[in-house]
Amino acid sequence: MKSKNIILAAVAAAVVSAAGYGLYRTGMNQGMQMAAPASNAAPSAGAMSNAGEPGKKVLYWHDPMIPGLKFDKPGQSPMNMPLVPVYAEGAGDEGTVKISPRVQQNLGIRTAEVSKGNSAQVVETVGSVAYNERDVALVQARSNGYIEKLYVRAPLDPVKKGQPLAELYVPDWIAAQEEYLTVKRMQGSAAGMLLDGARQRMRLAGMTDSQIRLVESTGKIHPRLTLSSPIDGVVAELSAREGMTVMNGAPLFRINGLRTVWVNADVPENFAALVRPGNAVEARSPALPGTVLKGKVSAILPEINPSTRTLKARVELANPGGRLVPGMFATISFTSAAKDDVLTVPSEAVIQTGTRSVVIVAQGDGKFAPVDVETGAESGGKTVVLKGLEAGQKVVASGQFLIDSEASLRGTTTRMSDAPAAEGGKAASGPVHRGVGKVESIGNDEIAISHGPIPTLQWGAMTMGFKPPASGVPKNVAVGDTVAFEIRPAKDGAFEIVTIAPTAAAPAQEKKADKAGAAK
């Protein structure tokens, strides 16, 4: 009975095993049938973008962050980023970026035409009114004496031509005039000669011809001298007071005329070439609303203010009615000599990178490319272009930096911030970046280095290839060496090694750099 039960259990186990194997085979067959059509299905969006779009020829793959490095197959970049395909379309000019009309609208791109016209430049600046130092009269004492009466008692008092200023008592005149009158009463042939001598002594005492004639006509002594203003103006300096003793030649009054005034205008250093003596100017002052005063540049002072980087242009203006007084502010408009048939673009279209002047040219069909230009003077929102553009071209006047950002995202090798390459294909001048790493391989066109983080480029630790130095790989550098190296951007967007040398301290530096990168 017991043996019979054992046999039945064995048979049941065999049946279960057979059933399990049958189910396993059935599942495998169904899985293979389901897998077969799945292998023909379309790849995912991520796989498609990495492998390339159907119907387009892929030239190579690259990392948008390092567009100079090119790869033959899709995959991951040294920075662990998906490689992006570059298609044959538009490959003839790697310096351009193509942007769809919808994206252009979103970026707010606005273009302007390169125009040809007149280059008359108008420079506007500000200045302050000052006295015309060429229109000055100085009133002095002609003899020793005393000030008995003062008619003008305060500085900046206005005076008219011929107006009395002060009255002086001159004792020296009394003796000279008495001698003249005594000789005049004499009779005889010698009286004429003596009379001329007495008249000459009155002149030496400081008397004018009109004062001498007054003594002759009246026959009386006139010991007092009245000083009068020789011009219209204001008393800029007053050195006289009643009762004071004055010496011969002592300055008593300094009178500045107001018929014309100077405006000392501050001209920026970069506009100095546009302002020349004799240039016509227009002046406006807040004190005279609606009034335009005409004048000319009388002089350019040969001195630059080191704080404001401006020079002084001395402008002479007519001042009818004396309405402009020293200290007033005035706006001065200078007009330079005009030049015909020059190219101009909106000033906002010109980008100064520090070493170059760049404009973004719209090439049509949604393509844009940066172009180096040589610029001239700027005025009225227009900049003269001396070289680099032609009349009728379209330049981007708004959204240039967004185009530059788009070029960076798409891996365009030529950007506004790139420095021009040196002649002969050498590396472009630019910032030098330093790193430490291990040499993995050395080839004719590339040196592969596993380096630590390079903070100046915001690179993490990676293995990548660099162009060898222009002078060749040093003989003391071999595969497996730990080296310190310097790199800088080359013309094609890749990086070229400037210097490379083995270093004993490099392993410690590399380890420290790796720790810093891991901490980030």
210, part of any domain: yes
CA 389 to chain CA centroid, Å, is: 22
6, part of any domain: yes
**What Å distances lie between residue 202 and 58, 199, 210, 211, 294, CA to CA?**
111, 5, 12, 9, 48
Matching residue, tokens 């392993």: 507
CATH number of the domain residue 146 falls in:
2.40.50.100
CB of 441 within 8 A of CB of 479?
A: yes
| Residues in a beta bridge with 138 | 254
Task: Say what the pLDDT of residue 4 is.
Answer: 46
Copy the structure tokens of residue 62: 């690259």
296, part of any domain: no
Task: Say what the pLDDT of residue 68 is.
Answer: 58
* Interval 342-374: pLDDT, tens: 888 888 888 887 677 888 888 887 888 888 888
Q: What is the dihedral of CA 130, 131, 132, 134, to 10 degrees?
A: -140
92, part of any domain: no
Copy the structure tokens of residue 472: 């060749």
* Interval 103-135: pLDDT, tens: 777 778 888 888 887 666 777 888 999 999 988
Is the pLDDT assigned to residue 288 strictly greater than 90? Answer: no
Copy the structure tokens of residue 70: 């090119």
CB of 309 within 8 A of CB of 266?
A: no
Q: Give the orientation angle of helix 209-218 with respect to helix 171-185, to 10 degrees.
A: 50
Matching residue, tokens 């016509």: 280
* Interval 249-274: pLDDT, tens: 889 999 999 888 999 998 888 777 77
Is there a single domain that holds both residue 140 and residue 223?
yes
Write out the DSSP string of 460-499.
-SEEEEEBPPTT---TT--TT-EEEEEEEE-TTS-EEEEE
Is there a single domain that holds both residue 104 and residue 145?
no
> Where a domain ends, among 211, 235, 255?
255
Copy the structure tokens of residue 358: 């760049």
Write out the DSSP string of 185-196.
H--STTHHHHHH
Is there a single domain that holds both residue 35 and residue 80?
no
Count of domains forming the chain: 5
Is there a single domain that holds both residue 50 and residue 33?
no
CATH number of the domain residue 495 falls in:
2.40.50.320
* Positive or negative torsion for Cα 492, 498, 504, 509: negative
pTM (2 decimals)? 0.46
Is the pLDDT assigned to residue 70 strictly greater than 80? Answer: no
Is there a single domain that holds both residue 383 and residue 351?
yes
Is the pLDDT assigned to residue 438 strictly greater than 90? Answer: yes
Host domain of residue 111 = 97-119+340-410
As a three-state string, the secondary structure of 74-123 is CCECCCCCECEEEECCCCCCCCCEECCHHHHHHHCCEEEECEEECCCCEE
Task: Say what the pLDDT of residue 209 is.
Answer: 83
* Interval 297-333: pLDDT, tens: 888 888 888 888 988 989 998 888 888 888 899 998 8
Q: Percent helix, strand and coil across the chain, each rounded to 5?
A: 25, 40, 35
- What whole-number distance in Å separates Cα of residue 270 and Cα of residue 253? 42
129, part of any domain: no
Is the pLDDT assigned to residue 238 strictly greater than 80? Answer: yes
Is the pLDDT assigned to residue 63 strictly greater than 90? Answer: no
30, part of any domain: yes
